[in-house]
Structure 1
Amino acid sequence: MSGFGDCLAEHTLDALSRGRLSPAEQAAAARHLDGCDACRELLAALARVEVGEVESNLATRPRGVAAPRLAAGDRIGRYTVLHLVGAGAMGTVYAAYDPELDRRVALKLVHHGLLAGDAREAAAARLLREAQALARLSDPNIVTVFDAGRFEGQVFLAMEFVEGGTLRQWLMVERRSPAAIVAMFVAAGRGLAALHGAGLVHRDFKPDNVLVGGDGRVRVSDFGLVRVAPAATASIEETFDPARPLPTGGEAMTRTGALLGTPAYMAPELWQGAQADARSDQFAFCVALHEALQGARPFTAAVLSGAAGGRMVAQGDRIPAGLRAPLAIGLARAPERRHASMAALLAALGRGLTAARRRRTALLGLGVGLCAGLSAWGWQHAQARELAGREAACVAAGARIEAVWGAAARADVERSFAATGKSFAPTTFAKTAPWLDRWAADWRGAAETACRAHTLAGTWDAELRARAEDCLDEARAGFAALVDELRDADAVALTQATNAAAELTPASRCTQPAALRERPDVPQAQRSAARELWVRLARARSLQAVGDYAAAQAAAHAAMAAARASGLPELIAEAEFREAGLHEKRGDYAAAEAGLLRALAAAEGARARGLALAVTTDLVYVVGYAAARPAEGRVWARSAQTQLALHPGASPLDEAHLDSRLASVDDVVGDYAEAARLHARALAVREQQLGPWHPDVARSLVGLAAARQAQGELDAASELYGRALTIQQRVFGPEHPDVAMTLHNLAGVRYGAGALDDAAGFYERALAIAERVLGPDHPGVADTLKDLGVVQRARGELAASLRLQTRALAIYERALGPDHPRVGNSLNSLALVQRDLGAPAEAERLHTRALALFERALGPDHTEVGGVLYNLAELRSEAGAHAEAAALMRRAHAIYAAALGPQHPETVDMARELAQLEAR
């Protein structure tokens, strides 16, 4: 592809306007278009030709509906339009490029004419709120909604761009077996069930509104008619107007006005004006499935509406016998006679399809003769009983998780949270329990899948099943350890509970054959001891997750001794890795590095490639960022990248984790553009893999915001911090340390922009939360006090700044001891206030104390030492001692040049000031 240099070639522009470029080529072209007026004008001219072609195909659109009018290269917010995907009576969909996250999205605009005049603004506002509700969902069978907004009065949705076609197109490409059809509809049904579980109703389910991606994954889409269900919780319902829902796009047959939906799929009660609910979605699903299997819908629209002359469609024999009863129940005219839920319908379809297979197998022997037939019948009956027993055993295997997380455990955790006496305890339980529910359901499904793969499908041998069982036992032990800690939660554990639950490794990894085959072999005689060790390590992980680092360190150390006694390299590696992680959390980076190196050697000895990758990725951070040795950190990053490429069990999340770690190294050396690129890449992966509301998504947003902030892009940083704050408030609630920290970061952005009053306001909000949640003497409170003091100093409020800095220093010294590096930072800040107050001797005393502390704690070549030397040089210069000042500045410059490189902005600034001092 040529033309991506100075300007785009005309054939490139033509291919772009018609949507014929690859995703990578589209992204490259969109980046060029952002800065090239000439190419945008030529692309617009080419696109107008295409739009004219589309308009000729829409001659039947209703009067008053706007035609597609955006051309390739146009902008909707931050999105660059690439090409038109489709247009219909209700809306227009464009492919677009999101430069912030470097990905393609689908932009859907709802037509002006479909919003009633007086109610247009209210209806548009309600659609935006509905989009926000959809964005809270994270389900593999639902198209992800990323963003929503307004464009020239119209509402737009930014959604996941799915390469592929619709379920209807999939059905038409070739004749499909009933089993294949049911499998695709069951996947779509899971998406509907997820919608219903979130208190939402689709209202327009049909094969045209289900996408089948190139990866074969089914996604329910076209959400313009989604509404909150009547039984939804108040916390969701209160954000929606009772106004009539907006119509969706894509098909002129969708009814508007009093009725909403596609007539052929609408449940009878909707024709009578009843409110749509999960049961009417179930009816539409059964109509669509009947149509796919039989080749005809079960009713005409006239039958559904009760109109005269309506008729039932003749029933044929293409529907497997076992599926007829579940479909008949789902198609019942009275809603209360349908299945209790989509989950119940899907379960019935699964049983029916299995029964149909058994009947077909039994019929094969009928022509052999009476005796042979009776014998075959007896054998088939016995086989059916055996299969049913195996299926029941697999269900029981999954049900073992209820012993860890059932009604009793849930009640215990809720009581434990309440017993802390914290006002936010009920909110924290409400936020934490769904993550625990989700993990337990994932474990149940993984256990059943592993069992069926071995005992029913026969696709796994006994060795692979044993490896899966070990993996599942380890995962269950880790989950049980966390639940135990939450049953006895203190105030610190309460603040970390939601995060700990959200960060549990999914049990579904135990169903991945490639990853299972990577697990080292454990001799049969040592398996019992090995499992006991896994339990002890799991407890150390859980104690760390809830913030009890001292207890976690003790548990990890005891596990380490037992692991070494066992002689099993993988367990030694896991124990070393756990203990090293705790050293990192407690700020002992030298011990963390040494432990990681031992863990890596043990992991390589055990051929545990997944563990070796995790250890190497942490070395990138500990060496490159925490120890401020970026060149070595990059070497470890290259090693981790090689391991990623060679490890068959690696996942996109492993790469995202490495990107985040490497981005921190780029922060150290001041390469903020590269840090931003890595954070954006990690963010895109985490959103796709974890959903838009996972805490790790918020962390990537915070990292990206910090990189933008360092580049001086304060508006972008503020928007990213705002998005992270929205996630954290939803996931953790408004009273959480992560919320306070993001408010703290927003304050820093406003301070950098010179908006000192705004910065003070954000710091004060962060301080109020931190004091309530952490208590008045927590180091996190001191962090905000210190930085608020910096703002007050900048505002000229020196007395207020002095009070804040003095209180921060007292907290640090009580909580961390007099020799902690954060004490040194506090001394440095307090010295600057004393300098402004006209007390240079006191300022010099504080700086000198900070210098000695940093040299003891961090070594003489750390950048913190250089920073204090710089401040002391300025003090000596102001006192007229230029030679002393130059000597101090020379030392500071040498430290910065060695640690950050001679081209780092701070090193360059320091060199300039040193030259000025030496010239005096």
Structure 2
Amino acid sequence: MAERVTLAGGGCLAEHTLDALSRGCLSASEQAAAALHLDVCDECRRLLAALARVVDSAEAGTCETPEIGERRVVAGPQPRLTAGSRVGRYTVLHVVGAGAMGTVYAAYDPELDRRVALKLVHHGLLSDATRETAAARLLREAQALARLSHPNVIAVFDAGRFEGQVFLAMEFVEGGTLRQWLAAERRSPAAIIECFVAAGRALAALHGAGLVHRDFKPENVLVSADGRVQVSDFGLARVTPTASAAIDRPFDPARPLPGGNEAVTRTGALLGTPAYMAPELWQGAPADARSDQFAFCVALYEALQGARPFTAAALAGEVEAAAGLVAAPDDRLPAGLRRPLAIGLARAPEDRHASMHALLAELERGLAGARRRRPLVIGAAAIVAVGLGAWGWQHARERDHDRRLAACTAAGARIDEVWGEAARAEVERSFLVTGKPFAATTFARTTPWLDRWAAAWRGAATTACRAHTVDAAWDADLRARAEDCLDEARAGFTALVDELRDADVVALTQATDAAAELAPVDACVEPAALRERPLLPHARRGEAQAIRRRLARARSLQAVGDYAAALPVAHEAVGAARASGWPALVAEAEFRAAGLHEKRGDYPAAEAGLLRALTAAESARARGLALAITTDLVYVVGYAAARHAEGRVWARSARTLLALLPGASPLEQAHLDSRLAAVVDVVGAYDEAASLHSRALAVREAALGPSHPDVVRSLVGLAAARQALGELDAAAGLYERALAVQERLFGAEHPDIALILHNLAGVRYGAGALDEAVPLYERALAIQERALGPDHPGVAETLHDLAVTHRARGASAESLRLQTRALALYERALGPEHPRVASSLNSMALLVDDPDEAQRLFVRALAISEKALGPGHREVGDVLYNLASLRREAGATAEAIELLRRSLAIYAAALGPQHPDVREIEAELARMEAP
């Protein structure tokens, strides 16, 4: 209990101790400890008297802490965690400090391999009656803070619950508080003001996000060992009371984070450190940006003068504020700062500066004026000279403005070097040389995407230049980040144009998709996204650009479908990035290489690469890249590797990253939904898959328009989910919508059209409309043969399914003819040991009349599948099931039962024990085993 009597900065009693003392809530020993300090501290005695004046008599003796939620709640003793204790995934290392709202521990995050500051809000602040609502409020407010990305605001990584307590995981800063920095040595006024201006920018960013700090003081500002200033301890921060959204709905950790206006708090709470509290707060008025401004000015005045500007009695209203001014024995206040501080310290909130931005601008101007100020003698001749020079100065200023505008226009025009008339002509010639019937249409459909991207880059480059050199809205750091982002985007565009200048048939078929899916440049002019972007050392920028050019080429080769050529380029980039020692580049390179392994079907290599990329991204604090990597892990682990539960865990991790990413795009959520849909679809959760695809479709249509390839993917994914649910009419309608979009995008002869026709034929087959399915398959087959050639493995896919349809129609001879051709194509294009060969053998075995020949085909299919896919793959289960049926018909019941058991084990592992197919096989096995 004695630990509640703690000292604030400067050796005075902490605010919670004074508050408890004013209510009569300290124990006898605590009161005695406080009394010893009060005997020698006039300031604390005045603060205590002022607190006593504003405490409601009904509250005295209730021993309640300041409000959380809608009412005051009872505080209680807090368990202290020890080294090795676990809070979620975090391992506690040691206590850093404790305050009125909670305790801060140094902790280790094993997932991200870094030390964090872990703050646990006191359990007693969440009453039994309102604990869930209050905790949800605190979590939403913590997440709103996590949305805020600013170099002068301590980063919030995570928020959650631990044994009823809310916790925050924050950046761990090596250094001390601003109070300690001020006390370490005598600082110049310029150094002090520079430090406070950095902290003021954090408050301005906080206010811009709709938040109020409510407890700004030197103890809540950290100065790192390298001099970085960061505002921290948002334990009392609240969303501004102008918000109106409801806050009583249950907290959903998977829900996208609220913006700054989505939570409210009851106003009138007496929160904050009394010495820095604005006068209106003593009267119960709501805290807002202007009360933060007042606290900031008190702290700055104190730092410069060595004393606060008012006594506690003046702040509490016992005397007029002016009468409470403290006379500084050593006046260190620069003359140019007196007026800005006086305005910020105005008793009436409406008399203060309009915003923190306005205050900071006044402070910087005042300090600059003080530096320039010199004794001045002006004679008549000088006045005449100024008058004569004014006209010339104005024209010089206009000329400089025009020169800056022209330079920014030229910065945007750099894209013409990549995509101009010459490049356009070379790409058209390259397409037409392929001789494919859809080449001219593909050129006509592809170039608008390239034109739009080039125009977007031009606009972004011009905007970034103007923001810094013309409007002075961006600092040099933000401009450097924008230039790096634009250079990377331009390199990717250049690499794609280069690939299209020398396109083969595969590149031709992928060209429109590749152009449509170029990385957007919007993020290059979004300050929040740019602040998240790791900035590589300027001195070695050429080395970084060379690595990124390799990555751009690998991405373009991947985009046009040349995975074999792309992979060695990506691996070269990985090696160069690792040699550079820059984690951000390592993450980018590993991510690209992993994506290529995924495309080539090497899923173990893809997973290993993604994990390496994630480690590097976290080391670089590249949260946007970490989100993209984690989203791909959802698919690679959950779908490709068939570890569905792990895939869902990665999806939750991705949602958390998305929620904490400032300026996150809805398209990133859509991409995550699409990836997760593949995972839940494979385990038979078709309702969930349909919901995810529907959500992704709505976002993509709104953000990209109805004619984007990603919209088509969502339509096809949703159609497949509806098809699996037996909603065949809905599935057919979605496929038809996708087909219409594809025809607008690519023309009627593009091979992608054949893929949707193929899927639509599958719906007709499932509905039993076999005669409708056949012409759809045949149209798809004709397009593929014209576009890809009669020997392409994609043709074999359609031959295979058309053969299955003919078998269902009873046309066994035609089915066998088509399947024989499909098998020959597979073996010639893919080799005799490919899984597609096994699939074709499995289908052929169902067509032949000779049981011995059927068994031979099944056995060969089984051997290929087990070797190529592993003994637990779904396709192995399919062959085992068919072979079991054949052996049962031959009277080999014991052998059939063993084969069916093996098939059942594979299905259960892949789909889960409750999947309809699993239950059906279990029933069949039970019938076979019955006496």
Specify the TM-score bucket, using the shorter chain as the normaliser. 0.5 to 0.7
Q: Greater shift after overlay, 654-663 or 501-510?
A: 501-510
1:755 maps to what in 2?
Answer: 769
Segment drifting more, 545-554 vs 430-439: 545-554
Between 1:656-665 and 1:824-833, the stretch displaced more is 824-833
Give the partner amino acid of 1:755: A
1:553 and 2:564 aligned: no
Structure 1 length as normaliser, TM-score? 0.59
The answer on whether the counterparts of 1:735 and 1:769 sit within 8 Å (CA) in structure 2 is yes
**Structure 2 equivalent of residue 874 of structure 1:** 885
Determine if the alignment matches structure 1 residue 610 to structure 2 residue 624: yes
What is aligned with 2:857? Answer: 846
- Equivalent position of 1:628 in the other structure: 642
The CA distance in 1 between the partners of 2:654 and 2:448, in whole Å, is 34
Query: Which residue is equivalent to 1:884?
Result: 895
Aligned to 2:794, which of 773, 780, 784? Answer: 780
Pairwise CA distance, 1:650: 2.0
1:398 and 2:409 aligned? no
Cα distance change on mapping 1:369 and 1:765 into 2, 3 Å: farther
**Contact 1:610–1:649, Cα closer than 8 Å, also in 2:** no
Structure 1 position 389 matched with structure 2 position 427: no
Alpha-carbon separation, structure 2, partners of 1:399 and 1:672: 49
Retained in 2: the 8 A contact 1:657–1:682? yes
Please list the CA deviations of residues 390-432 of structure 1 after superposition, one character each: whole Å capped at 9, or x if unmatched.
0000000000000000010001101111111112111110000
2:533 to 497, 512, 519: 519
For structure 1, the residue ranges without an aligned partner over 5 or more in a row are: 1-213, 215-367
Q: Of 562, 567, 575, which residue of structure 1 is paired with 2:576?
A: 562
Alignment gaps of 5+ in structure 2: 1-242, 244-381
Question: Which secondary structure state, in structure 2, belongs to the residue aligned with residue 385 of structure 1?
Answer: helix
SS of residue paired to 2:810: coil
Structure ID, larger Rg: 2
Alpha-carbon distance between aligned partners in 2 of 1:470 and 1:507, rounded to the nearest angstrom: 12
Is residue 2:474 matched to residue 1:460? yes
Residue 920 (structure 2) aligns with: 909
C-alpha deviation, 1:609, in angstroms: 1.0
**Counterpart Cα distance in 1 of 2:438 and 2:872:** 44
Task: Give the equivalent residue in structure 2 for 1:450.
Answer: 464
- The amino acid of 2:676's aligned partner reads L
Give me the whole-angstrom Cα distance separating, in 2, the residues matched to 1:543 and 1:841.
47
Deviation at 1:554, TM superposition (A): 1.8
Per-residue CA deviation, residues 827-873 of structure 1 (Å, 9 max, x unaligned), is 11111112xxx221111111111111121122211211111111111
Partner of 2:555: 541
Quote the Cα distance in structure 2 between the aligned partners of 1:564 and 1:819: 37
Matched to 2:744, the amino acid is R
Match of 2:909 in 1: 898
> Structure 2 counterpart of 1:850, which letter?
A
Aligned residue runs from structure 1 range 376-525, under 5 A: 376-525=390-539
Deviations 1:178-224 (CA, angstroms, capped at 9, x unpaired): xxxxxxxxxxxxxxxxxxxxxxxxxxxxxxxxxxxx9xxxxxxxxxx
3-state SS of 2:519 partner? coil
1:685 paired residue among 699, 718, 733 = 699
Aligned residue type for 2:856: R
* 1:594 maps to which of 569, 589, 608: 608
1:813 is aligned to 2:827: yes
The question of whether the paired residues in 2 share the 8 Å contact of 1:537 and 1:555 is answered with yes
User: C-alpha separation between the residues in 1 aligned to 2:840 and 2:603?
Assistant: 21
Counterpart of 2:846 in 1: which secondary structure?
helix
In 1, Cα distance between the equivalents of 2:407 and 2:797?
Answer: 55
The offset of 1:373, in angstroms, is: 5.6
CA distance in 2, matches of 1:370, 1:568: 59
CA distance in 2 between partners of 1:370 and 1:434 (Å): 60
Report the Cα distance in structure 1 between the residues aligned to 2:535 and 2:484, rounded to whole angstroms: 11
Query: In the TM superposition, what is the alpha-carbon distance from 1:375 to its structure 2 partner?
Result: 3.1
Structure 1 residue 385: Cα displacement: 0.7
RMSD over aligned CA atoms reads 1.5
User: CA shift at 1:439, angstroms?
Assistant: 0.2
8 Å CA contact retained: 1:435, 1:501 = yes
Distance 1:707 1:382, change over 3 A: same
Contact 1:656 1:681 in 2 (8 A): yes
Task: Give the Cα separation in 1 of the matches to 2:915 and 2:870.
Answer: 21
1:334-369 deviations in whole A, cap 9, x for unaligned?
xxxxxxxxxxxxxxxxxxxxxxxxxxxxxxxxxx99
C-alpha separation in 2, matches of 1:650 and 1:850: 47
Whether contact under 8 Å (1:518, 1:649) holds in the other structure is no
Of 738, 741, 750, the match for 1:727: 741
Q: Indicate which of 751, 755, 779 corresponds to 1:765.
A: 779
2:810 is aligned with what amino acid? G
Which aligned pairs between 1:566-715 and structure 2 lie closer than 5 A?
Answer: 566-715=580-729
Match of 2:816 in 1: 802
Q: Give the CA deviation at 1:508.
A: 2.1
Matched AA of 1:788: L
1:250-290 per-residue CA deviation (whole Å, 9 max, x = no partner) reads xxxxxxxxxxxxxxxxxxxxxxxxxxxxxxxxxxxxxxxxx
Letter in 2 for 1:800: E
Q: Is the 8 A contact 1:850 1:868 kept in 2?
A: yes
In structure 2, what is the equivalent of residue 861 of structure 1?
872
Counterpart amino acid of residue 710 in structure 2: D
Counterpart residue identity of residue 918, structure 2: T
Separation (CA, whole Å) in 1 of partners of 2:553 and 2:445: 22
For 1:60, the equivalent position in structure 2 comes to: none
Shift of residue 371, structure 1, vs aligned partner: 6.9
1:802 to partner: Cα distance: 0.7
Rounded to whole Å, the distance in 2 between the matches of 1:676 and 1:652 is 18
Local SS of the residue matching 1:833: coil
When normalised by structure 2's length, the TM-score is 0.58
Report SS of the residue matched to 1:860: coil
Q: Give a deviation string over 1:103-147, Cα, whole Å, max 9, x none.
A: xxxxxxxxxxxxxxxxxxxxxxxxxxxxxxxxxxxxxxxxxxxxx
Secondary structure of 2:926's partner? Answer: helix
Identity across matched positions, percent? 74
Q: Secondary structure at 1:628's aligned position in 2? A: coil
Structure 2 partner of 1:160: none
After TM superposition, give the deviation of residue 631 of structure 1 in Å: 0.8
> Secondary structure in 2 aligned to 1:526?
helix
Q: Answer whether contact 1:824 1:853 (CA < 8 A) is retained.
A: yes
Letter aligned with residue 566 of structure 2: A
Work out the CA distance in 2 between the residues paired with 1:532 and 1:688.
36
Within 5 Å, give how 1:220-369 maps onto structure 2: none
The structural deviation recorded for 1:568 is 1.4
* Partner deviation per Cα, 1:128-168 (whole Å, 9 max, x = no partner): xxxxxxxxxxxxxxxxxxxxxxxxxxxxxxxxxxxxxxxxx
Distance in 1, Cα, partners of 2:789 & 2:573: 33
Measured in 2, the distance between the counterparts of 1:598 and 1:813 equals: 36
Alpha-carbon spacing, 1:524–1:371, altered in 2? closer, same or farther (3 Å): closer
Aligned partners of 1:624 and 1:633 also within 8 Å = yes
The answer (yes or no) to whether the contact 1:744–1:763 under 8 Å persists in 2 is: yes
